[in-house]
Amino acid sequence: MTRFLLMIALVMTMTTGCRAETKLRDNDIVPLTITREDGKEIALSVEMAISDEAEEKGLMFRTSMPENSGMLFTFEHEAIRAFWMKNTLIPLDMIFIRKDGKIVNIHENAIPKDLTPIFSAGPANAVLEINGGRARQLGLKTGDTIHHPFFQ
C-alpha cells in the first residue's frame, strides 16, 4: 500500500512539473491547430499576447505577416471581447474563441487603422488574429475547434 501511495505522489509531482514548464509568455511562438467540422486539421504558428502591454500593442505597425502565422490574445475569463485596428497596417481576420476552444465567431478583413470596435458574438476568452481573408481560404467556421496549450 505504501509503495502504491509513493507511486501516486511521484506521478502527481511529475504532472505538476510538466504544467509549470508549459507556462506561456508574451511573444512566445507556438504551434496551434484548428480542426474544422469536416475533420480537416490546419496547422498555424502563433505569437502569444498575454500581458496588458502585449494586448495593447498586438500587431500594430507590422507591414506583413507570414501566411500560416497569427497572434493569440488570451484572457483569464470569458467575456464579450472588443478589438480595434488602431495603428494596424495590414487587414486581419479576428477569430473569437470560447474557453473550450470552440470558435464563437469570425470577423473577416478588419480594416487597417480603423478605430471601430469589433465585438465577439458571445463570451470569449481568446482571440486569434490572422491575415485578412485567410479564414475564408482555410474554410474556417463558427464551431470549429482550436487546439493550443491555453485551452487545456
pLDDT in tens, 50-71: 999 999 999 999 999 999 999 9
* Position 10 in a domain: no
The CATH number assigned to the domain holding 135 equals: 2.60.120.1140
* Position 93 in a domain: yes
Per the DSSP assignment, residues forming a β-bridge with 93 are 130
- pTM given for the model: 0.84
Asked if 145 and 34 count as a contact pair (C-beta separation under 8 A), the reply is yes
Whole-number Å distance between alpha carbons of 14 and 41:
30
* Position 14 in a domain: no
pLDDT per residue, tens digit, the chain (152 aa), is 333 333 333 333 333 333 334 588 999 999 999 999 999 999 999 999 999 999 999 999 999 999 999 999 999 999 999 999 999 999 999 999 999 999 999 999 999 999 999 999 999 999 999 999 999 999 999 999 999 999 97
Number of C-beta neighbours around residue 42 at 10 A: 16
Number of C-beta neighbours around residue 25 at 10 A: 9
Domain count, the chain: 1
Whole-number Å distance between alpha carbons of 132 and 122:
21
* Position 11 in a domain: no
Return left, alpha or beta for 18; rule: phi > 0 is left, psi -120 to 50 is alpha, else beta.
alpha
Q: According to the model, what pLDDT value does residue 22 have?
A: 55
* Position 38 in a domain: yes
Q: Which domain holds residue 99?
A: 26-151
- Find all residues with CB under 8 Å of 6, minimum gap 6, and list them: none
